Structure 1
Amino acid sequence: MMPKVIIAMDSFKGSASSWQIGQAVKDGVLKSLPEADVQVLAVADGGEGTIAAFSHNLAGQRITVEATSPDGRLIEADYFLSEDSDYAVVEVAQASGITQIDDTDSQLLQYSSYGTGQVIAHALDQGIKRLYIGLGGSGTNDLGLGLLAALGLKAFNDSAQEVEMIPKHFSNITRFESGGLKPELRGVDIQFLVDVSNPLCGAEGASQVFGPQKGGLDEEIAYLDREFYRLAELLSPENPDHLRLLPGGGAAGGIGAGIYAFLASDKVSMVPGIETILSLAGFKESLTDADLVMTGEGKMDQQTLYGKVPLGVLQLAKLENVPAVAIVGSHSTDLSQLYDLGFAGVFSICPGPLTLETAMKNVLPLAEQTGQTLARFYKVVSE
């Protein structure tokens, strides 16, 4: 009987996209199982690669627009527009990602998400009804106020002077004026694609957890957390704690919480990025009569347990009783939790000690070789 193999890999960041790594694994599988039905899905969790996943799996087009990087340079950023212009997908990492920052020294209090607002404005002009916003991979920590400034929000100090909405000026803001917000923003249904559930403020909040990863100094982190707590009172005076504690509100430096403050609750939601993308890509349907699922990511460790691509793939595969294996660049030394979750196996593409540079340079042939090896083993044990 012809085996059916589904491949749904996350990107190996800095080395290969989800689609590239999936195709390499497929090539390896077909060397051992030339008669197999092998299907590759490009997937992501809301961070880098989200636009590519939609582009590979669904009818529509990538649209490129000029935008402003977090550190103020003009760059190009893509978003995905469905074939019927019913919905668009914006990836924060495209215009406001950490990889878009060219500064040699981090200036977290200067960085703005304005560019992502420019991309959203262009998408809204296409007459869309739904907007998906992938919140992973951001390089900013500005509560989404830069993004909202690009859409018409204004901020003022206690002397009624307009304040530029970058973090270093947040302490001067005493009032927001939302009357100029692009009206189309309130007319669409927005789903934030997230892979974390961190709130806006506090020990688990945007600033304290993710700020250091973006180069924030201790005093900057403390300042940002204080200001986020205070600004929540201005953004949501009737229920500031709801905004401060909103699950996922701390993703992308608080972008989700910032936009949430200006929209009706029935128009916006936080959803697991990988679940949404797998659903739109038809992953569950592809599992019908499948014999094996292959997933993976560049590094598999504790973070995998919190909404990353391999976990989402595994959970759906388990519901259909299809075994799932993970192909990874590297993994933690203790795999017990991953096996407890249900992975049939976790396999590194590295055949022996390799420098990171060598492994990244050769990721596709190494992935192909691993796919070939696993498929050969599958063939032997299934006969």
Structure 2
Amino acid sequence: MKVVIAMDSFKGSMSSLEAGEAVAEGIRRADEQAETVVRPLADGGEGTMDALVHGMGGEIQRIRVTGPYGRKVECRYGIIEKRKLAVIEMAEAAGLTLAAPDERNPLYATTYGVGEVICDAVAKGCRRFLVGIGGSATNDGGAGMLQALGYGLLDEKGEQVPFEAQGLRWLQRITSDRVLPELSECEFLVACDVENPLCGELGCSAVYGPQKGADPAMIADMDRWLLRYAQLADAISEMADPYYPGAGAAGGMGFAFRTFLHASLRPGAALVLEETGLEEAIKTADLVITGEGQLDRQTMMGKAVAGVAKIARTYRVPVLAFAGSVTKDVAGCTENGIAAYFPILHRVCTLEEAMKSENARENLADTAEQAIRLLRVGMQIHTEKRNDSVK
């Protein structure tokens, strides 16, 4: 029996691969002959870099870059050498958590550090990029990133405007004659799970600005500056569409990536599933096991677990799901390709006890073991009945 295991992380307890290995351990207890294939799973947000790098034999890089408020920060990103692939989480260089709550002000926040990460990865041979853009502190439309990559965002004197969002108020012209040459060889895949446009009532300034420290006056100013920025971008790129779904993601990073780097904006879970080659593994599987910290009605609404179930359903491979907890409104799981789901807790305990890594791994392995034992019993009964009918 070949079992493909693709577990999302149990946040606070287990990473994606730790959960996958716990399931594999339980399966081996029940069936020593079973072949287990563990693949990382993530949705493009926090944890995606670690899941892909560790699951695909990559290496973590650590570099010093310009943080969201100008101070140098240590940023991690991953390289999967065999694919010339860099995996970047924008929040590592320009994340909201890199600043204290009383310091947050999107007028002065920049994405320059993200551009520095890209430059470093290009210098190390990467030509494909998977970028998660969640958790940003910025609202500069990706202007800082573009400046780090060699674009000219110039004022009326022909000088670079300040790197942060407020620099856009002085923007008069955008140039590309000094852009990093290797960018023309690069492919950018951006994990984007929102459809907000760049500007307007549903734009990044209005919707996400307040959580980054913007007041109504700032929101109005930034929205106006971003619209002007998009109009100037139209002069050098036919893809400059401020109303494209996802253009407003991460304070306008969706717009910058698509307009200037010709990036594809895709749901994060779908990108990860594609990069890990999960579909190829599932094609020849007898069983697929997936899961996450909590199964609920949102599980099947575009989350990573839903993507696994969809692929398995295409190849008519049964799916089991394990979770730390299961809510009452989870019925949609069985309607969307998950044959059965199991909470992994075996006794009454506190949330703190349940979330301890060692307890979570043990509970998950034990649940997997019992599920496979039950499955084997069912297979045995089926075989015996078939043999009796032949006789």
Same fold (TM over 0.5): yes
Could you tell me which amino acid in structure 1 is paired with residue 90 of structure 2? V
Query: Corresponding residue for 2:171?
Result: 173
Query: Corresponding residue for 2:245?
Result: 247
CA contact (8 A) 2:297 2:330 kept: no
CA distances 1:236-290 after superposition (whole Å, capped 9, x unpaired): 2588995222233233332121132224xxx532234333332332212212342
User: 1:134-173 counterparts in 2 under 5 A?
Assistant: 134-158=132-156, 162-173=160-171
C-alpha deviation, 1:6, in angstroms: 1.3
Q: Does 1:277 align with 2:292?
A: no
Residues 196 and 182 (structure 1), Cα distance of their counterparts in 2 relative to 1, 3 Å cut: same
Query: Corresponding residue for 1:328?
Result: 323
CA contact (8 A) 1:47 1:93 kept: no
How many percent of aligned residue pairs carry the same amino acid? 38
Query: Corresponding residue for 1:368?
Result: 365
Residues 306 and 340 (structure 1), Cα distance of their counterparts in 2 relative to 1, 3 Å cut: same
Moved more, 156-165 or 63-72: 156-165
Q: In 2, distance between residues paired with 1:213 and 1:9?
A: 31
User: 1:218-257 counterparts in 2 under 5 A?
Assistant: 220-221=218-219, 223-237=221-235, 243-257=241-255
CA contact (8 A) 1:142 1:167 kept: yes
Residues 279 and 159 (structure 1), Cα distance of their counterparts in 2 relative to 1, 3 Å cut: closer
Q: Does 1:6 align with 2:1?
A: no
Match of 2:336 among 325, 341, 360: 341
C-alpha deviation, 1:317, in angstroms: 0.8
Moved more, 306-315 or 330-339: 330-339
Q: Does 1:313 align with 2:311?
A: no
Q: In 2, distance between residues paired with 1:91 and 1:77?
A: 9
Match of 1:30 among 28, 31, 35: 28
User: Unmatched 5+ residue regions in structure 1?
Assistant: none
Aligned partner of residue 143 in structure 1, secondary structure: coil
Aligned partner of residue 242 in structure 2, secondary structure: helix
Query: Corresponding residue for 2:90?
Result: 92
Query: Corresponding residue for 1:107?
Result: 104
CA contact (8 A) 1:25 1:368 kept: yes
CA distances 1:299-319 after superposition (whole Å, capped 9, x unpaired): 444554443211111111111
Q: In 2, distance between residues paired with 1:176 and 1:303?
A: 42
Please tell me whether Structure 1 or Structure 2 has the larger radius of gyration of its CA atoms.
2
CA contact (8 A) 1:106 1:216 kept: no
CA contact (8 A) 2:197 2:246 kept: yes
Aligned partner of residue 155 in structure 1, secondary structure: strand
Moved more, 102-111 or 344-353: 344-353
Query: Corresponding residue for 1:262?
Result: 260
**For the aligned residues, what is the CA RMSD?**
3.2
Could you tell me which amino acid in structure 2 is paired with residue 232 of structure 1? A
Query: Corresponding residue for 2:128?
Result: 130
Aligned partner of residue 244 in structure 1, secondary structure: coil
Tell me the number of residue pairs that the alignment of Structure 1 and Structure 2 aligns.
377
C-alpha deviation, 1:119, in angstroms: 0.9
Query: Corresponding residue for 2:387?
Result: none
Could you tell me which amino acid in structure 1 is paired with residue 363 of structure 2? L
Aligned partner of residue 287 in structure 1, secondary structure: helix
Aligned partner of residue 42 in structure 1, secondary structure: coil
CA distances 1:110-166 after superposition (whole Å, capped 9, x unpaired): 332222211101011134333332334444333222222222334344566643232
C-alpha deviation, 1:108, in angstroms: 4.1
Q: In 1, distance between residues paired with 2:296 and 2:212?
A: 20
Query: Corresponding residue for 1:48?
Result: 46
Aligned partner of residue 243 in structure 1, secondary structure: coil
Match of 2:379 among 371, 379, 382: 382
C-alpha deviation, 1:215, in angstroms: 5.8
Aligned partner of residue 283 in structure 2, secondary structure: coil
